[in-house]
Amino acid sequence: MISSKTENAGSFRQTLTVGGRSLEADTDGSAPSPHDYFCASLASCKALTSHVYAKAKGFALERVEVDVDRDDSQEKQGKYTLRVSVRFFGALSEEEKKKIYDAIQRCPVHKLMTTSEVTIETAPFVA
């Protein structure tokens, strides 16, 4: 379970708890925003999928850098664009890089964001 709690009465700032770890969220730039975490989930999934795939194939992938740039200017019209840039490091051939790149197009979060119907059921908290 992931939880979010307001830090101080009257404040927007949230403390998130994820697997026993604490993260912060806010809308004023003092912490990542919910949209930042949305993009971060995609970036981390692509990076982790790269490593898992490369290891399974025996590729010499040392590290990955993933940048996600979002264009949310048309979000209210139902369009939200994420531009992903990926760099692979290690003794990799161009063919190996291409295979890793192809694999990360199917990372779980990418698929969730683009091909799944997500249902959210929000209910009042019952103590």
Tens of pLDDT, residue by residue over 71-120, are 999 999 999 999 999 999 999 999 999 999 999 999 999 999 999 999 99
71 — phi, psi (to 5°)? -120, 100
- Please report whether residue 104 resides in a domain: yes
For the record, the structure tokens of 125 come out as: 């908290």
Q: Write out the residue range of the structural domain in which residue 91 sits.
A: 33-115
- Backbone φ and ψ for 45, nearest 5 degrees, come out as -65, -45
Structural domains of the chain, count: 2
Q: Which residue has the tokens 């051939």?
A: 93
43 plus 78 within the same structural domain: yes
What integer pLDDT is reported at residue 125 of this predicted model? 77
Q: What is the pLDDT of residues 43-75, one digit of tens each?
A: 999 999 999 999 999 999 999 999 999 999 999
**Residues 22 and 42 grouped into a single domain:** no
Tokens, residue 122 = 């929000």
Long-range CB pairs of 98-104, under 8 A, 24+ apart, other chains included: 99/53, 99/57, 99/59, 100/50, 100/53, 100/54, 100/59, 100/61, 103/49, 103/50, 103/53, 104/46, 104/49, 104/50, 104/53
